[in-house]
Amino acid sequence: MSLRAQRARAPDRPLGGTSGAWRGRFLRFHVPLAIACIGLLVLFMTLPIFDPLGYVRMDMESGSAVPRPMDMSAPRPDRPMESQGTGHAGTAPAAGHSAGQTPAPDHSTAPAPSSGHGGSQTSAPAAHGGDQAGTRPDTLDPARAQSRFDQRLTVATGYVATLLLAFTLLVGPANLLLRRRNPVSSYLRRDAGMWTATFSVLHVIVGLQVHSQGQISGMLGYFLAPDRSPLLNSFGLANWTGLAATVIVVGLLTISSDLALRTLKAGTWKWLQRLNYALFALVVMHAVLYGALLRATSPFTLMLALSVIAVLAAQTIGIWLWRRKRSRTTVLAA
């Protein structure tokens, strides 16, 4: 057997391309992934149904570890007076996830995040579409308009990253179901992971701008209470889980190369890549802690639920197929 044929049959050789074949991978995987990501981002940013400001808001100041909906009828320190003639709060804190939040940024992490924050984010007057008299407050206040844009972009990038992450966990079971070769590394899975990391990092960067404006003190407010103790309400826990997810997704990105696969060897490399399962669990927790379950009518919550169901079902089927294939191989070998 030739060396080329041996390489083609090597179980650890990445599926979907050859080492260094960037042009083929770019056209076969990266271009379609880029088109899909941009298309989703445009839909999430433009269609009214995906506007997170149109759904119930979460009380980020609540001390509970369980997300609580915000009572907009009650006066709050950050909303000293109600705007006359609108029935909404007269001031709008630059909230990444909801009005009435603490000055701390609310979208520190992602895969994304962090994805998964659906629609609790809202500036106070914008909770129901703006001024009831027909004048949108955000059109009169550039800072508020920028905050609304940042909020929506944060949610959109988080959910694009979440869908990409779910996709990476469906590739392996799909190969088994279709009886295709399922090596240690797949270029499709690896390249989708690169886009997952890209949108996760973008999600973090945009989310941090909602409150902190780049200031360290504002960024710390995502994780620490005013007395510098860990923030352990739903807002703080969401950010801590998001931070853990960000560390994992960046770490996985750094080893998503043929060089890393050769250096670490297949067993170690694959073990590290299995952190993708922990990453998905953290992303789901991040979404739930940010109140995704409070927004049952949000399409983002529906996408999150379908992603979880699809991943769990696919992994269950994949494990069953893998064990059946292994048992048959053992019988034949005996």
Answer yes or no: is 4 within a domain.
no
Q: Is it the case that residue 69 has pLDDT exceeding 80?
A: yes
Answer yes or no: is 328 within a domain.
yes
Q: Is it the case that residue 183 has pLDDT exceeding 80?
A: no
Mean pLDDT of the chain: 76
**How far apart are the C-alpha atoms of 320 and 55, rounded to whole Å?**
40
pTM exceeds 0.85, yes or no: no
Answer yes or no: is 59 within a domain.
yes
Q: Which domain holds residue 204?
A: 20-333
**How far apart are the C-alpha atoms of 104 and 221, rounded to whole Å?**
4
Structural domain count, the chain: 1
Answer yes or no: is 1 within a domain.
no
Answer yes or no: is 7 within a domain.
no
Select from 36, 55, 27, 136 the least CA-distant residue to 301.
Answer: 55
Answer yes or no: is 5 within a domain.
no
- The per-residue pLDDT for 124 is 34
DSSP element (H, E) containing 169: helix 142-177
pLDDT band at 94 (very low <50, low <70, confident <90, very high): very low
Q: How far is CA 57 from the centre of its chain?
A: 19
Please state the rounded mean pLDDT for residues 93-119: 40
Burial class (CB in 10 A: 0-12, 13-18, 19+), 194: middle
Answer yes or no: is 314 within a domain.
yes
Answer yes or no: is 83 within a domain.
yes
Higher pLDDT, 163 or 143: 163
**How far apart are the C-alpha atoms of 332 and 180, rounded to whole Å?**
20
- Using one digit for the tens of pLDDT, what is the confidence trace for 251-287? 999 998 889 988 999 889 999 999 999 999 999 999 9
From 48-57, 155-164, 178-187, the region with the lowest mean pLDDT: 178-187
- Using one digit for the tens of pLDDT, what is the confidence trace for 293-322? 999 999 999 999 999 999 999 999 988 888
Q: Is it the case that residue 131 has pLDDT exceeding 60?
A: no
